[in-house]
Amino acid sequence: MGSVFFRWLFLGGLGYALGGPIGMIVGSVVALLSGGLSSALPAGDDADATSGTQRASYRRATPGDIRVSILILVACVLKADGIVKKSELNVVKKYLLQNYGEEEALGALQVLKTLLEQDIDCMAVANQIRQNVNYSTRLEILHFLLDLAFADGDYAIAEQRLIAQISAALGLSDADYRSLLALYGKAKDPDWAYQALEITASVTDEEVKKAYRRMAMKYHPDKVASAGEDVKKKATEKFRAVNEAYEHIKKSRGMN
């Protein structure tokens, strides 16, 4: 059983996640689940994991780093309102099964269960991710956290507050946060499509087209190709949503 969680943790390799706040969490999880095997982990450089130029750091981010980072932030969101909801856990299980298969998903769930028992400094984790992961991948991390928060159709106040703070700590713009958020309010907000393209209903048709091209470029799946198939799938979802928003606006305006 232990080898399952260990294999999931290190599937795809770890770089920055062996140092800094995330490295400490990984070491704690390994120690708790394996009875002290954390001493066998490769030594990470704490300073290097959280400093230096972003361009150099981005080259060190591995699919394994991204996967572990997402799961830690998932634990933060699950605990945000003090109740771990079944609907939210089902979203996590579905995500893990779709991306890693049954055996690896079992290992990930073992890790998640242990993370839920940890006292995590969520902002420190998000800050480390910001310093080591490119912007497009950080957007997809936020995208998944919002999927999780809306799993039961209720974006709780505690979750809103935490995810907004995580978004800021990830270095994401408020416009990008609101653009992603708009996708979950389509049934309630008639302007959701404009918000998704980060524009208002008062813009010209030409400005709509420019906004669409900009957003399509920002969320193109190729931008996160090196982050792993799971992150690429989230980018593809957002890319399709951008197209949906654009088609909705074109139809409502009678644009060609």
Residue-range definition of the domain harbouring residue 64: 1-172
Q: Do 211 and 112 lie in a common domain?
A: no
Q: Are residues 104 and 189 in the same domain?
A: no
Domain boundary among 126, 142, 172: 172
Output the tens digit of pLDDT for each of the chain's 256 residues: 456 666 666 655 677 888 899 999 988 888 887 765 544 444 444 444 444 444 444 446 788 888 899 999 999 999 988 888 888 888 888 888 887 788 888 888 888 999 999 899 999 999 999 999 999 899 989 998 998 888 777 788 888 899 999 999 999 999 999 888 888 876 567 788 898 899 999 999 999 999 999 998 888 888 887 777 777 887 888 888 889 999 999 999 888 7
Shared domain for 19 and 49, answered yes or no, is yes
Q: What is the DSSP string of 226-248?
A: GG-HHHHHHHHHHHHHHHHHHHH
Q: What is the CATH number of the domain that holds 192?
A: 1.10.287.110
Does pTM top 0.95 for this prediction?
Answer: no
pLDDT of residue 95: 82
Task: Clarify whether residues 93 and 167 are in a common domain.
Answer: yes
Give yes or no: residues 198 and 75 share one domain: no
Q: Does residue 61 sit in the same domain as residue 144?
A: yes
Radius of gyration of the chain (CA): 19
**In a shared domain, residues 160 and 179:** no
Examine the fold and report which residue of 124, 156, 172 is the final residue of a domain before the chain moves on: 172
218 neighbors 172 (Cβ within 8 angstroms): no
Per the structure, the count of domains in the chain is 2
Co-location of 211 and 247 in the same domain: yes
pLDDT of amino acid 161: 93
Q: Kindly compute the dihedral angle of the four CA atoms of residues 144, 50, 120, 115, in this order, to the nearest 10 degrees.
A: 60
pLDDT of residue 55: 42
The pLDDT value given to residue 224: 81
* Same domain for 179 and 161: no
On whether both 80 and 22 belong to a single domain, the answer is yes
Q: Which of 147, 172, 197 lies at the terminal end of a domain, its last residue?
A: 172
What is the C-alpha to C-alpha distance for residues 180 and 12, in angstroms, rounded to an integer? 28
Q: Same domain, yes or no, for 2 and 93?
A: yes
15 lies in the same domain as 97: yes
Distance between CA atoms of residues 64 and 17, nearest Å: 8
Position 205 scores a pLDDT of 93
